[in-house]
Amino acid sequence: MSTLQENLVPARSRATRPAARRRRLTPVVIVYLALVALLVVGSVLVGLRGEVLLDQAGIFNILTRATALGLVAVGQTMVILTGSLDLSVAYLIGLTSLVAAQTMAGRDGMVLPAVLLALAVAAGVGLANGLIITVLKANAFIATLGMALILRGYLENNYTGPAGDVPRGFQHLGYDRIGPVPAAALVMLAVAALAWWYLSRTRAGYHMYAVGGDIEVARLSGVPTRRVIVTAHVLCSIAAGLTGIYLASRLGSGAPYVGTDAGYDLESIAAVVLGGTLLAGGRGGVVGTIGGVLILATLDTVFDDLEVDPFFKDVVRGVVLVTAVALYARRMMTARRTRGRLA
Amino acid sequence: MTPRPATRVRLTGISKSFLGVPVLHGVDLEVRGGEVHAVMGENGAGKSTLLKVLAGVHRPDSGTIEVDGAEVSFAGPTDAQRAGIAIIHQEFTLLPHRTVAENVYLGREPVRRMQVDRRRMVADTRELLDWLGEEGIDPTDPVSSLSVAQQQVVEIVKALSTNARVLGMDEPTAALADHEVELLYDLVRRLRDRGIAIVYISHRMREVFDLSNRITVLKDGRFVICAPTSELTSEDLVRHMVGRDLGEYYPDRAKPGDLGPVRLALRGAGNDRVRDLNLQVRAGEIVGLAGLQGSGRSAVARAVFGVEPLTRGVLEIDGVPRRVKRPRTAVRLGIALVTEDRKAAGLALRQSVRDNTLLVRRAALRGARSRARSDLPALLKLVAVVATGEHQEVRYLSGGNQQKVVLAKWLAVEPKVLVVDEPTRGIDVGAKRAVHELLRDLARRGVAVLMISSELPELIGMSDRILVMHDGTLAGELPAGASEGAVMALATGHGVGAAA
């Protein structure tokens, strides 16, 4: 998927090497600076209305919004880094919320089996996605779009609305908080930390970067490329499964369209890209993604506080996304020019 | 034939065909520890294929591979790696966003307590870099921050980290600037002195004489000779590389009276890929442009056609200076380019013969001229395309007929200057002759033809004059019917001394 590599760069520019390496602003730094700037501007704007953005309720709001999106986006980061992507997460979230809630059926004793079953279903969908892409060699976009349609068909055929019942005990996951921090947000951050460790410390994680960077180079270096892509998809789907379980605990039941109503498919890809991960793969990471998620969550919270027209909200989100990607592309280009040949 | 103790690798009788086209016929190669063994030959002689057989990338159809006296069979690159053979390909195989150490150990990362042992990876990489005397490269630098020469060092370190004792290098200097080449020589010598067996593919004479202990020459996929470098002269080498007979038929060349005014002229032209180009092509003339791969032949074509525009010097069409910044301008000025890669850049494979033929006319010309299609049958007849009809998709045509459609596409806009890059690559003998006659016919009608070909007999047979490229600029001009040796001498930078 690395079609953007330059072929040959002239001999003269190749010879020169910048003497000192400039410490440059990486996308991760940019995204957190942008987050801080957004929090400052947002506080001022909300403050002008005589309210406070970052009071207990405000922080809680932002983090709650960030929890579900964060879980999906962490998984999405893995597939995108590997040079793939997953459009089926939104329906999978709906499906797993139903699987969890219906298996629990109000019984406390069924919480653990229900969670495990929902995750198993998710892993199965991820496995199918991965195999369709690697073995049948279908393009990831089409393969996961097809999976999304299959899941939608199943959901529409079998459900008309919410179903299942989550026991009170399990609803604590959705509503407990420590100070202004929702317990589930901590779970999300823990998942993100685990994913960060996996990607940046384990061999399998190294291989995801390699496959996304250049699948042919990875293959020639002995990386089991198919296994890496399948693993990324399984992990991505499990992350979507966790999101479904969390949303079930918040809603008290499963809901077929809980994932699609929030647009978690495209939203998660937007968060990943906003966080500085290359859509073509090979570069980026979970840290940036969480930054992207927090920016989107903060924007929403600020707009809600300001009672902004929802259509205008979308316009701003679109502008933010496009600006960010253009900015990263620009930085890449200047880096490339000063550094000479890249690949 | 008992293997000598120092023989690391012996290839015997290696044959390999691709899609029925034989590339190697019973080639032998024997490489010893501590030697640099050069493999030479013209473009298409089978050098790279031989190296890929050694690397386990291609399986030979017949023949044996022995490593340290024991016969082996490689199912893939990993097997060859395990046997101690590593190859540095023409294209770099590094991930720009990852660090040096991460690249070196890609696919073989050391693991400790579930985690990649980064400390060890960095330390081992540093040790290898030090061993090579390349302390200037930091294992934690991202590869994208290194110069091309340093990236090549990383490639070599990557190969050595597998404990390779046989190292194949395919045109390792192709991407390097002059001062970097010296550094590479130095590195190759150090590797040799440390007992590594090196298979060194190159078609640069000077490099081979500077570096190698022995030379094997291939021609048209056959083994020609293997001899110590000290026993060969560059004249011998050129003779071994090109010595074939010119038994083919080519159309008559232009007579002095056929030549018209200068249609295409370059004066001091250049860009990032080529420099100091001075050339003229007259109406009625076919000028051959020779040179080795990477010498800038195709870059000239791309520059004239505005794909990679000229940044210096003057380009004149019919005596008028023009700035050609993009192909569209070139087409409007009457320049046509038949690209090297017919399938990727010459044709819309899933479209019909008719749509492909009218592609340029519709795209680049304005008004009524773009709509005129009454002459389509005449065009197709002129180039003699064999197709079921004008609506057949071109992907179903043979290579020769596809190439005829490409030519028809350009004839549809009646070019003044026609640049053809490898016009007969991959097409059969009959179609080849048809293309040759068509080109000559066009020249007779007043088109100026600039023809690039790596097939020397074709180039010499067709051209009224031959320009030879070397290292991004013109190395010299030869008259019609010059010898292959003379062309090769100029193309390998061997200078005028060996010219016939």
The secondary structure of B375-444 as a DSSP string is THHHHHHHHT---S-TTSBGGGS-HHHHHHHHHHHHHTT--SEEEEESTTTT--HHHHHHHHHHHHHHHH
B340 within domain boundaries: yes
A164 within domain boundaries: yes
> How buried is B308 (Cβ within 10 angstroms: 0-12 exposed, 13-18 middle, 19+ buried)?
middle
Final residue of a structural domain among B211, B242, B273? B242
B2 within domain boundaries: no
CA distance A315 to A293: 17
With beta carbons less than 8 A apart as the criterion, state whether A220 and B93 touch: yes
Q: Count other C-beta atoms under 10 Å from residue B28's C-beta.
A: 13
Q: Are residues B233 and B358 in the same domain?
A: no
B54 within domain boundaries: yes
B251 within domain boundaries: no
- Taking an 8 Å cut-off on Cβ atoms, the answer to whether B106 and A218 are in contact is yes
Final residue of a structural domain among B242, B265, B285? B242
With beta carbons less than 8 A apart as the criterion, state whether A213 and A207 touch: no
- Which value does ipTM take for this structure? 0.81
Least confident of A12-16, A205-209, B60-64, B272-276: A12-16
Look up residue A338 and give its amino acid: T
- Taking an 8 Å cut-off on Cβ atoms, the answer to whether B177 and A335 are in contact is no
State the helix-helix crossing angle for A225-251 and A168-175, rounded to 10 degrees: 110
A142 within domain boundaries: yes
- Taking an 8 Å cut-off on Cβ atoms, the answer to whether A15 and B147 are in contact is yes
Nearest CA in chain A to B91: A343
According to the model, what pLDDT value does residue B367 have?
62
Gyration radius from chain A CA atoms: 21
The sign of the torsion formed by the CA atoms of B287, B290, B294, B295 equals: negative
Least confident of A12-21, A40-49, B250-259: A12-21
A280 close contact with B: CB closer than 8 A: no
State the helix-helix crossing angle for A27-48 and A286-306, rounded to 10 degrees: 10
Q: Which of B135, B149, B147, B139 is nearest to B185 (CA)?
A: B149
Q: Are residues B146 and B97 in the same domain?
A: yes
Distance (Å) from the alpha carbon of B472 to chain A's nearest alpha carbon = 10
Mean pLDDT of chain A: 87
- Taking an 8 Å cut-off on Cβ atoms, the answer to whether B97 and A335 are in contact is no
B248 within domain boundaries: no
Q: Are residues B275 and B358 in the same domain?
A: yes
A120 within domain boundaries: yes
According to the model, what pLDDT value does residue A5 have?
35
> How buried is B318 (Cβ within 10 angstroms: 0-12 exposed, 13-18 middle, 19+ buried)?
middle
B77 close contact with A: CB closer than 8 A: yes
| B213-B218-B223 Cα angle (round to 5) | 95
Q: Are residues B295 and B221 in the same domain?
A: no
According to the model, what pLDDT value does residue A311 have?
87
User: Which residues in chain B have Cβ-Cβ distances shorter than 8 Å to A209?
Assistant: 95, 97-98
Q: Are residues B172 and B285 in the same domain?
A: no
pLDDT per residue of chain B (500 residues) written in tens, 0 to 9 = 444 447 899 999 999 987 667 789 999 999 999 999 999 887 667 888 899 899 888 899 999 999 988 899 988 888 888 899 988 877 778 998 999 999 999 988 999 988 999 999 999 999 989 888 888 899 999 998 888 888 888 998 998 888 889 999 988 877 676 677 888 888 899 889 988 999 999 877 778 888 999 999 988 888 988 999 999 887 788 778 776 543 457 888 888 888 899 999 999 999 988 999 999 999 999 999 998 877 889 999 999 999 999 999 999 999 999 999 999 899 989 999 998 888 778 888 888 888 888 888 888 776 655 555 567 888 888 888 888 888 888 888 877 888 899 999 898 888 999 999 988 876 766 778 888 999 999 999 899 999 998 888 889 989 999 999 998 999 999 998 888 889 988 988 876 543 33
B287 within domain boundaries: yes
Q: Which of A213, A223, A335 sits opposite B107 (nearest CB)?
A: A223
B147 close contact with A: CB closer than 8 A: yes
According to the model, what pLDDT value does residue B183 have?
82
- Taking an 8 Å cut-off on Cβ atoms, the answer to whether B147 and A209 are in contact is no
CA distance A292 to B431: 58
A339 pLDDT band (50/70/90 cuts)?
Answer: very low
A37 within domain boundaries: no
User: Which residues in chain B have Cβ-Cβ distances shorter than 8 Å to A24?
Assistant: none
According to the model, what pLDDT value does residue A15 have?
35
> How buried is A280 (Cβ within 10 angstroms: 0-12 exposed, 13-18 middle, 19+ buried)?
middle
With beta carbons less than 8 A apart as the criterion, state whether B14 and B27 touch: yes
A116 pLDDT band (50/70/90 cuts)?
Answer: very high
Name the 3-class secondary structure at A289: helix
Residue A245: domain span: 53-307
Q: Are residues B145 and B217 in the same domain?
A: yes
User: Which residues in chain A have Cβ-Cβ distances shorter than 8 Å to B179?
Assistant: 15
Count how many Cα atoms sit within 13 Å of the Cα of residue B147 in the half-sphere of its side chain.
Answer: 21
A210 within domain boundaries: yes
| B298-B304-B306 Cα angle (round to 5) | 100
With beta carbons less than 8 A apart as the criterion, state whether B300 and B310 touch: no
Q: List A residues 233-262 in contact with B (Cβ-Cβ < 8 A).
A: none
Helix, strand and coil percent figures for chain B, each rounded to 5: 35, 25, 40
Task: Report the residue of A217, A225, A336 to disrupt the B interface, i.e. the one with the largest count of B CBs within 10 Å.
Answer: A217
A204 pLDDT band (50/70/90 cuts)?
Answer: very high
Per-residue burial over B285-297, b if 16 or more Cβ lie within 10 Å, else e, is bbbbbbbbebbbb
A80 within domain boundaries: yes
CA distance B441 to B452: 17
CA A228 to chain centroid, in Å, comes to 18
- Whether pLDDT at A1 is above 50: no
Q: In chain A, how many domains are there?
A: 1
Q: Are residues B236 and B261 in the same domain?
A: no
A16 within domain boundaries: no
According to the model, what pLDDT value does residue B428 have?
67
Residue B450: domain span: 256-498
Nearest CA in chain A to B149: A15
Q: Are residues B318 and B208 in the same domain?
A: no
Give B249's DSSP letter: -
Q: Are residues B311 and B385 in the same domain?
A: yes
CATH code assigned at A253: 1.10.3470
Final residue of a structural domain among B207, B242, B277? B242
Average pLDDT over residues A149-176: 93
With beta carbons less than 8 A apart as the criterion, state whether B208 and B202 touch: yes
Q: Are residues B279 and B146 in the same domain?
A: no
CATH code assigned at B190: 3.40.50.300
A266 close contact with B: CB closer than 8 A: no
A313 within domain boundaries: no
Q: Are residues B226 and B272 in the same domain?
A: no
A24 pLDDT band (50/70/90 cuts)?
Answer: low
B247 within domain boundaries: no
B250 within domain boundaries: no
Q: In chain B, how many domains are there?
A: 2
Q: What are phi and psi of B219, to 5 degrees?
A: -145, 130
